[in-house]
Amino acid sequence: MKNLLGRLSPQQVLPLSFLGIIIFGALLLLTPWSTKAGAMPFIDALFTATSAVCVTGLTVVDTGTYFTPFGQGVILGLIQVGGLGIMTFSVLFYSLLGSSIRLRDRIIVQSSFTTPQKQDVLKLVKSIFLYTFAIEGAGVILLLAAWPGGSPNSTRVWIAVFHSVSAFCNAGFSLFRDSFMEYRFNWWINLIITSLIIAGGLGFIVLMELGRWVKQKLRKQQRPRLSLHSKLVLTTTACLIAGGGLLFFVLESRDSLATVSLNGKILASYFQSVTARTAGFNTMDIYALANPTLFILMILMFIGASPGSCGGGVKTINAAILVIIARNRFKGKEEGEVFKRTIPRETLSRSVTIIISSVVLISVVGCLLMIAETGRYAHPETRGKFLEYLFETVSAFGTVGLSMGVTPTLTNMGKILIMVMMFLGRLGPLNLAFSLAKRAPVKKFHYGEEKIFIG
């Protein structure tokens, strides 16, 4: 067994580590201490564990009422481990024991958080834990201060801890049956939750750069400077939040938000724009939204979070690169230029490949899901189901967790397909393909070029 593990590449260890944690979590959820209603079906335990480890938030049962405090604790632990990665915990454990960290483990951690290879891995891991627990701890304190009274202190603390971790890890699991719909007009709770979601979705590299930038600014040292990566992430994130919120406001103002005040409309639009890309919390009934709004939410879910974060999707950077390529092509430029920098051609090619492979993956799994759930019915008998199943598929791929309510009603095959989608969405389809593929030999020659017509 040890020899087998030793032969695995870093790209292969990463998905296997996630798979191992999912199975372990499912076994814990099957114990009688985890649920209030007796034994949980294995498929549902596996689905819940997959959703937690892949920080998605799609559920087949109500987390707050179905699970005991022990079961909820298991889910919270899976969210934290899934968000940071098992290898990150392993590196910290090795360092605490004074053991040396293997090169393979260093490579896995670096690839998980998309950091440069020259980065000190132990220092990186310590920084990740410091930022994570500092932000989550701040979230707990702020939520405790903002939460309405009426509940016992121990319950309020547990609610604050659970939702702070779930929000920062972009998991979307909630102890409330209707997520945050009860608090849709509570500005403090909405702003705290969305701030945690945004921080978790930026990626640890951007968070650490912002930390250094603030320190340099306060100490008035050298002129603070952000990398091109951080500039693109921050700019794209701001544009997606503002654009998504504006479209949600316009499309729903005369529909689901018709009777809501202007401030309430702005808050609901902002919250759904933030949570649609990563976390999956909701203050609006997703099933009651207009079709154009659902389409906008699917675009946001498809884009997802930023590289090196807890979230899934094709990532903000790749969406930005696609826009940059299109803009520069219209200007007659061959290079991907932005912020007075040129993006390497290899990066441009990889970004396009990720987006294309993601579209193909969603199309295939979405089609299989519809075959599994509605294949024997004619179209007139299943009106609306096409959008619902496609929405669920995109939500699983983006590890978002927003749902139109069909997840609990899925067949076992449908649940398996969504689990596969959550797993692929967390790891990234291209990363998983690289882990399975054999390295191609380097060619010593290239074939001659010949032009083709592309329209």
What token pair was written down for 251?
A: 């499309």
**Hey, CA dihedral for 231, 314, 131, 85, is it positive or negative?**
negative
Element (H, E) at 336: strand 336-338
Assign 35 to helix, strand or coil: strand
Q: For residue 233, report the phi and psi dihedrals to the nearest 5 degrees.
A: -60, -50
Cross-strand partners of 338: 341
Cross-strand partners of 67: 35
CB 55 within 8 A of CB 100: no
Residue 285 burial (CB count, 10 A) = 13
**Cα–Cα nearest to 419, from 11, 49, 39, 140:** 49
Alpha helices (H) along 169-221:
187-202, 204-219
Task: Describe the crossing of helices 10-29 and 103-112 by its angle, rounded to 10 degrees.
Answer: 80
C-alpha triplet 15, 18, 23: angle, nearest 5°: 125
| Distance, CA of 118 to CA of 132 (rounded, Å) | 22
Read off the DSSP letter of residue 341.
E
- The one-digit pLDDT tens for each residue of the chain (455 residues) are 445 545 666 567 778 888 999 999 999 999 999 998 878 999 999 999 999 999 999 999 999 999 999 999 999 999 998 888 755 655 555 555 455 555 555 555 555 555 555 566 677 778 888 888 999 999 999 999 888 776 668 788 999 999 999 999 999 899 999 999 999 999 999 999 999 999 999 988 888 888 888 887 777 766 668 888 889 999 999 999 999 999 999 999 888 898 899 999 999 999 999 999 888 899 999 999 999 999 999 999 999 988 888 888 899 999 999 999 888 888 877 778 888 888 888 888 888 888 999 999 999 999 999 999 987 777 777 777 889 999 999 999 999 999 998 999 999 999 999 999 999 988 876 665 555 555 556 666 677 777 777 76
Residue 238 burial (CB count, 10 A) = 11
Read off the pLDDT of residues 77-113 as tens digits, 9 standing for 90 and up: 999 988 887 556 555 555 554 555 555 555 555 555 5
Read off the pLDDT of residues 7-16 as tens digits, 9 standing for 90 and up: 666 567 778 8
